[in-house]
Amino acid sequence: MRLSTRAKYISYIAVLHLVLIILVANLLSENKPLFIASEVFLLLSAAASIQLYRNFMQPIQFVKSGIEAIKDKDFSIKFVPTGKGEIDTLIEVYNLMIDQLREERTRLHEQHFFLEKLIEASPISIVILDYDEKIDSLNHKAQEQFGAVAEQLHGKALNETNLPLLHELVDMQDGDSRVVKTNGVVTFKVQRSHFMDKGFKRSFLMIEELTNELLVSEKNAYGKVIRMMAHEVNNTLGATDSILQTTRNILTDPGFTELKEALGVASERNGRLTRFMRNFADVVRLPTPNRATADLSLLVRDVSTFMQAAASERQVSIQLFLPEAPIVKSVDTGQMEHVLVNVIKNAMEACAPGNVIGIHLTQSLLLIKNNGTPIEQEVNASLFNPFFSTKKDGQGIGLTLTREILVNHNFGFSLKTEEYGWTVFRIEMEE
């Protein structure tokens, strides 16, 4: 068993004075005055040793108390000078250190509080990861963005969630920045960075939705181009067609029959080009929805009846799954009818004979499904881009108008082929 320095010192002083007492008793027992003087000296020596011991132990006790206070993170304890030089120097250093630690802790707490408030008030979604790259916390904006599943994300890696957006970010490294589209329409700018926590690196993601800004900027850009094209083309075609018709009327001689037919073909071509430009102009001139209360069940049934003849020609079946009770929503009936016609028409064009189009309607969802040709992965992100089309002679007008109508109605939407093989156009009608 190892003795402490304190025990060794006490043992040494005790043994030393015991030996001295025995020697004095043996050597000076007959010389009373010297014996008494020696005993008094030994007594004073013992008292001096005790005082020296206390003086040595006082700094140790002081250091011990200071260490305990620091361990308990109590930076309010300070020591009063004792009047002893060495100890007062130590007390001065300790008190200065405590003041600095207290100020530093206060500063860190204030910074931490400020950063917490800043993160919570941020208009950008922030996802903070822990040391193992698992989701540790979400700010208020991120909780709003991920909705009901936000609480289920804690403790999961990005690839363990069921959110397509987070799956797209798995391979991002600190310092990376990218633009991500989740359903062909909703666009996010994502940046990944890191901070140091307790000496270790922790990453975080900043997710900013750009959808509305991009849609407005996009529409302003293509709207200006379309208006300029329509103005030039319509002015030219109007004058040209007038000349063609006048010339045809003048050419009454039978010898000019072939020329008259050629002029007629040119006039028809002008008409098709006019209609072509009118389709583009419709995207720009799309009015604000004139909303009124309508039964969506009835609207879906009417449109499916209208499209039934075209579906029968393709040997495609349209199946309705409608609730018994009316689904009443505030919509622009004409514009929503255009959406349904366009989506069902696209579904039919993707189907082969024997395929099925299923239309499912609930209080908050409208799903138009088909088991025809699936959408290729590289095409999916571009589906709702203005005037994008996979058809040979397609103008890309249908989905562009559909997008504008649904955005103006504040309805969420997506179009993709699900894992089970059906392609689903999903319209979310939460108000």
Hey, what CATH topology would domain 122-209 get? Beta-Lactamase (3.30.450)
Euclidean distance between CA atoms 35 and 24, whole angstroms:
7
What's the CATH code, domain 292-428? 3.30.565.10
Rg (Cα) of the chain, in Å, rounded? Answer: 44
The pLDDT of residue 281: 63
Contact criterion met (CB below 8 Å) for 322 and 368: no
Average the pLDDT over 223-242 and give the result: 67
The values of phi and psi at residue 352, to 5°, are -105, 165
Kindly report the average pLDDT of the chain as a whole number. Answer: 78
Residue range 235-258: average pLDDT?
72
Q: Is the pLDDT of residue 135 over 80?
A: yes
Least confident of 117-131, 141-155, 386-400: 386-400
Q: Which fold has domain 213-285?
A: Helix Hairpins (1.10.287)
Among candidate residues 249, 244, 246, the one with its CA nearest the CA of residue 263: 244
**pLDDT tens string 91-101:** 777 778 878 87
Question: Helix 32-71 vs helix 85-121: angle between axes, to the nearest 10 degrees?
Answer: 10
Q: Do domains 122-209 and 213-285 have the same CATH topology?
A: no
* Residue 367 bridge partners (DSSP): 360, 426
Residue 127 phi/psi, 5° resolution? -115, 115
Q: Judge whether residue 386 has pLDDT over 80.
A: no
pLDDT at 297 (0 to 100): 92
Is pLDDT above 60 for 1?
A: no
Nearest CA to 94 among 54, 134, 64, 124?
64
State residue 47's pLDDT score.
80
Q: In this model, does residue 154 exceed pLDDT 60? A: yes
How far apart are the C-alpha atoms of 359 and 320, rounded to whole Å?
5
E strand map for 286-422: 292-295, 317-321, 328-331, 356-361, 365-370, 412-417
- Ordered DSSP codes for 151-178: GGGTT-BGGGSS-HHHHTTTT--TT-EE
SS3 content of the chain, % helix, strand, coil (to 5): 55, 15, 25
The confidence score (pLDDT) of residue 233 equals 65
Q: Where are the alpha helices (DSSP H) in 314-374?
A: 333-350
Supply the DSSP symbol for 123: S
* Longest alpha-carbon distance in the chain: 172
The lowest-confidence range among 90-94, 251-255, 422-426 is 251-255
What pLDDT, on the 0 to 100 scale, is given for residue 82? 67
Q: What are phi and psi of 416, to 5 degrees?
A: -160, 160
Q: For the range 162-168, what are the long-range contacts, defined as Cβ-Cβ under 8 Å and sequence gap of 24 or more?
A: 165/207, 166/127
Retrieve residue 260's tokens: 């008259």
pLDDT above 90 covers what percent of the chain? 10
- Could you tell me how far CA 277 lies from the centroid of its own chain? 40
pLDDT of 221:
62
431: pLDDT strictly greater than 60: no
The sign of the dihedral angle between the CA atoms of 315, 393, 271, 262 is: negative
Least confident of 9-18, 64-73, 121-130, 161-170: 64-73
Q: What is the pLDDT of residues 332-378, one digit of tens each?
A: 888 899 889 889 998 998 899 999 999 999 988 999 999 988 887 76
pTM: 0.53
In terms of average pLDDT, the best of 134-138, 165-169, 262-266 is 134-138
Domain boundaries, the chain: 5-105, 122-209, 213-285, 292-428
Cα separation, 383 vs 403, in Å, equals 10
229 or 10: which carries more pLDDT confidence?
A: 10
Please give the residue that has the higher pLDDT: either 38 or 184: 38
**Rounded CA gap, 404 and 336, in Å?**
11
Per residue in 88-129, pLDDT tens? 777 777 778 878 877 887 887 777 777 778 778 788 888 888
CB 411 within 8 A of CB 343: no
Average pLDDT over residues 282-309: 84
Q: Which long-range contacts (CB under 8 A, 24 or more apart) does 220-226 make?
A: 222/283, 222/284, 222/386, 222/387, 223/283, 223/284, 226/280, 226/281, 226/283, 226/284
Q: What is the pLDDT of residue 140?
A: 87
Contacts of 375 (CB under 8 A, 6+ apart): 383, 415, 416, 417, 423
Most confident of 112-121, 222-231, 285-294, 315-324: 315-324
* pLDDT value for 50: 77
Contact status, residue 290 vs residue 336, Cβ threshold 8 Å: no
Euclidean distance between CA atoms 144 and 129, whole angstroms: 18
DSSP single-letter state for residue 261: H
pLDDT at 299 over 70: yes
How many C-beta neighbours within 10 Å does residue 85 have? 9
DSSP assignments along 36-90, one per residue:
HHHHHHHHHHHHHHHHHHHHHHHHHHHHHHHHHHHHTT-TT------S-HHHHHH
In this structure, of 43-52, 170-179, 419-428, the range with the lowest mean pLDDT score is 43-52
